[in-house]
Copies of this chain bind each other. A is one copy, B any other.
Amino acid sequence: MSRFMGLARKFNCFYFNGDLHNCRPFLVGGIQVGLMQPRVVEAALRHPDVFHFDSGSGSIMLHPAFATYEERSAKINHVLSQWREQSLFVTLKGWRDECYEVRTGFADPPLMKMERAATCLFGIRQYGVEIMGHTRHPHLGVCLWLQRRSLSKPTWPGKWDSMVAGGLSVGHSVLDTALKEANEEASIPSHLLANLKAAGSVSFYFESERGLFPNTEFVYDLELPADFVPCNADGEVESFELVPVAQVMERILTPDFKTTSCPTALDFLIRHGFINSDNEPQLPELVELLHIPLHYLYSRHQQRPSQITNSNNTSASN
């Protein structure tokens, strides 16, 4: 297996090695929006007024009596606040007072909102934005601007990350989030942001001690003039460094790089031809692992592909 394929298995560790047998689907309004690990199921079922175990399907449902966005959001927030006070889950130490929408697909209407730090307890799909700031340096060739995350951040402190990155909070569009974060994290002036180009998205399924991360990142490319130097405005960045692409390829393989920001770095290196079929024999497989079918993992539509697999599982074991 190539080094980049090893990395792709690392940021897709739940896709490959997750303890799925013991996880339970999490349903809101009769629709699966997440997946819960046993330790979270156990905690949730101590609140029978809010969570309901459906023995027929083996899933956990938010109580069907809660019919509106507001009611669902308030009820779950009440439970989460108790868990936070009880220090039940390490992820809730990073409580942000910032909410993410909970929905099936990105284009579907949100069913409720949830504190950002808690979404990984329920395996809720998270959406973010990353800006791949790059420069054609006269001597170093194409370079990416990387940020080193502040040492005081609750998650991934001191790790290397994309130049600009942020989660999609309630009430903010994708482009709004990109522009807001570009301003706060790197002080990029608006005349340079006019150059911002959408370049698709990546999807992967990561797991850490905090919980489950079925993540989608919207990707933007931003070519910057060689003399521009980013400057942090919100205290969330320790420093910035202009890194030639050859060094980026090495750095993403080290533990110093935020694992969940490696997909967008790989995607940039592939889209711009730095990683290609000549230097990466498993290129098509690597590209597939940057776009795993998250939308189908929680939906009935995945049924058919899994059937291909089941036939194979039987046969391949012979």
Contacts and interface: CB of A to CB of B under 8 A. Distances in A.
Interface of A: 2, 15-18, 20-21, 23-25, 27, 30-32, 35, 54, 56-59, 105-107, 127, 173-175, 197-203, 216, 218, 270-273, 276-278, 281-285, 287-318
Given A292-B288, A306-B306, A315-B32, A201 B283 contact: yes
5 contacts: A25-B311, A25-B315, A107-B281, A203-B287, A218-B283
Contact of A291 (B291, B311, B314): B291
A16 B304 CA distance: 7
B18 A304 contact: yes
Counting chain B CB atoms within 10 Å of each CB, the highest count among A58, A202, A277, A300 belongs to A277
Contact of A197 (B32, B218, B272, B304): B272
A43 to B, nearest CB: 19
B315 A59 contact: yes
Given A283-B201, A293-B292, A309 B302 contact: yes
Nearest to A280: B107
Nearest to A202: B287
Sort A-B residue pairs by CB-CB distance and give the 5 closest, nearest first: A306-B306, A198-B276, A57-B315, A291-B291, A107-B281
Counting chain B CB atoms within 10 Å of each CB, the highest count among A24, A59, A271 belongs to A271
Nearest to A203: B288
Contacts of A271: 199-200, 271
Contacts of A295: 284-285, 288
B59 A311 contact: yes
Contacts of A56: 314, 318
Nearest to A302: B309
Contacts of A15: 304-305
Contacts of A314: 56-59
A56 to B, nearest CB: 6
A290 B295 CA distance: 13
Nearest to A297: B308
B199 A270 contact: yes
A68 to B, nearest CB: 21
A282 B108 CA distance: 9
Counting chain B CB atoms within 10 Å of each CB, the highest count among A31, A273, A276, A312 belongs to A312
A282 B201 CA distance: 11
